[in-house]
Structure 1
Amino acid sequence: MRGDAGRRPAPPVRRRLVPYGFLLPAFVLYAAFMLFPIARAVQLSVYEWDGLTLGTFVGADNYLAVVTDPQLREAFVHALVLIVFFSLLPVAIGLVLAAVLNRAKVRGLPFFRTVIFLPQVVAMVVVAVAWRQIYAPDGSLNTALRAVGLDALARPWLGDYTWSLPAVGFIGTWVSMGLVTVLLLAGMSRVPAEQYEAARLDGAGAVREFFAITLPAVRGEVTVALTLTIIAALKTFDLVYVTTGGGPGTSTTVPSYEVYRRAFQLGEVGMAAAVGITLMVLIFGINLVVNRVGDRTT
């Protein structure tokens, strides 16, 4: 007891806190280029304004129109359909492709990763122009179909009311697949080889290895891939603008294209702002759910 009483108390642990002064410049930039434009868009969304004359306060009427206007509802449905092409299909294909490449240990894998990632470094406008030529009535796709005797399948893909949206979506699949595959390959390369060797000694086949070892190891990468590709699907504009311009009719309109059309062609700036804010909330909500589910499974 005497020995304990004679000891000096341990000095308190000092935690190093980051001074707010270091965060202030970053916050100022973030506020100037992100928070202020969003706040301004929210303000404009409650006005009926053509961009030139004085605006009229209409409250939530613009947001009600987003829900009740059939063309705007159709645009949001098209955006949700594009999620299948931009996100779900690339993730499914990328998982299989990355698993095969990782298991087979293909020679020249760095070169293959570079080639498959190439669509990500090409401007989307360039990609859209190239695919517009491929989909043209006399383009390479219809030429190839006629060459193998499938003339009945040839059609003006971007001018067909049924196939125009899937045709645009397939471009998104082609663009996103490289990013997803490279991302998943990076995650699979971190899995210890001993786990696969142990599974093979236990008699596990390729499919069982995939579901028992590979897929659980890359759930974080899958979540990131879903987040990035869903954002790309919902905010796509340049691809639709260059390939179809929202047509034929309104069969390929998407919310971001409606923002452009209503703000700069129809002079409905308030309505365009309301569509943009609604789209932002939708993107945030879907990705919040994806990340919550991803966090629970990792």
Structure 2
Amino acid sequence: MTLDADTTSTGRVVKRSNPVKPDLDSRTSLPLPRPARRRSPVDRWSGVVWVAPALVMYAVFVLYPLGQSVQFSFYDWDGIGQATPAGLDNWKAIFTEPELFGSVVHAFILVLFYTVLPVSTGLVAASLIRELRVGTFNTAARVVLFVPQVLPPVAAGIAWTWMFSTEGLVNQSLRAVGLESFTRAWLGDFTFALPAVGIIGFWLSLGFCTVLLLSGIGKIDPSLYEAARLDGAGRIGEFFAVTLPGLRQEIAVCATITTIAALASFDVVQIATQGGPGYQTMVPGVEIYRLTFLEQRVGQASALAVFLAALVLLVIWPIQRIGRHE
């Protein structure tokens, strides 16, 4: 506050107070910003204190075991006795032993069932459900598609094992329509065992992809569809011109999660076939388990595990890049 002096007609001096006007920016007539308060050392380190417990847990349960796996991958070790240096032999075996390299190939084949088919089918299903009126049928379609996602993969593996058995639902359905010659023990057939496991993965992934893509379609501006129709685009034209570009990020998320599930698959394969018949459905996850606990080849299992982790990162990186590209 400042005091100004005024002289009245009687000669008395009267002091009146005026509020202090803030400093104004001559260009904008807005108050000038106050200089930022300098952060104290306590403020700078407070964030580290909050994150430290999570960092410690991550280091103990993720980084340290990963480092141990990398170290063990260069040794021959049964998990109990003395470890002997093996050089690069464990790494070479991944590419020279048919069982190990075949498990990696099978994992990439499962990507077709876990990722390509669910994402493409989910796009079609989400586009069709968008056209349905909000009501009982629309809600029922969403629930039916999402039910597999809430089931544990182990339970799904057991259920599909029964359905793929000789007297299971699949063969009974084939007999009912006169296709008895196509019946077989699907999970025990050398030709169809891997596709049968892939169908289980497809069933588990479809609901997740469909619901996620549906939520993405809900964020697309309806005026874009109206503009496409005014330009003469039909349903297919709307899909490729509006829906598909608008779902780039959602497709990337679906592809990332399902690809990781395919390459690191274990539970469904272990429950359904345990890698059989022979090695026809062997995947890296089951092979790592077998090498560690059944054959006590911890060094070889560690090499395969580290290779699988690097492979997942290598495959996921371009998917993430595409999803972020505008």
TM-score bracket for the superposition, by shorter chain length = over 0.9
Alpha-carbon spacing, 1:169–1:15, altered in 2? closer, same or farther (3 Å): farther
**Deviates most, 34-43 or 163-172:** 34-43
Report the secondary structure of 1:39's partner residue.
helix
**Partner SS, residue 19 of structure 1:** helix
> Are residues 1:284 and 2:284 paired?
no
Deviates more, 1:50-59 or 1:263-272: 50-59
Ranges in structure 2 where 5+ consecutive residues have no aligned partner:
1-24, 27-31
Count how many residue pairs are aligned between Structure 1 and Structure 2. Answer: 292
Q: Distance in 1 between matches of 2:277 and 2:49?
A: 54
Residue identity in the other structure for 2:70: V
SS of structure 1 residue aligned to 2:220: coil
More moved, 192-201 vs 237-246 = 192-201
Deviation at 1:13, TM superposition (A): 4.2
Identical columns (%): 44
> What's the counterpart of residue 251 of structure 1?
280
Residue in 1 that maps onto 2:270: 241
For 2:111 and 2:290, locate their aligned partners in 1 and report how far apart those are by CA, in whole Å: 22
Which of 48, 55, 73 pairs up with 1:27? 55
| More displaced 10-residue stretch of structure 1: 194-203 or 278-287 | 194-203
Match of 2:109 among 71, 81, 91: 81
Q: Which runs of 5+ in 1 are unaligned?
A: none
Deviation of the 1:204 alpha carbon? 1.5
Letter in 1 for 2:306: I
Where do 1:186-265 residues align within 5 Å?
A: 186-265=215-294
For the pair 1:274 / 2:298, whether they are aligned, the reply is no
Question: Equivalences for 1:46-61 in 2 at 5 Å?
Answer: 46-61=74-89
State which drifts further: 54-63 or 156-165. Answer: 54-63
Alignment partner for residue 117 of structure 1, among 146, 149, 156? 146
Once residues 110 and 12 of structure 1 are traced to their aligned partners in structure 2, the CA distance between those partners, rounded to angstroms, is: 55
How far apart are the structure 1 equivalents of 2:200 and 2:38? 52
Deviation at 1:10, TM superposition (A): 6.1
CA distance in 1, matches of 2:248, 2:133: 21
DSSP 3-state at the match of 1:90: helix
Deviations 1:128-170 (A, max 9, x none): 1110110001111111101111111111101111000000001
* TM-score, structure 2 as length reference: 0.85
- The aligned residue for residue 144 of structure 1 is 173
State the Cα deviation string for residues 180-204 of structure 1 (Å, max 9, x = none): 0000000001112222122222322
Superposed CA RMSD:
1.9
Q: Which has the higher contact order (CA 8 A, sep 6+)?
A: 1
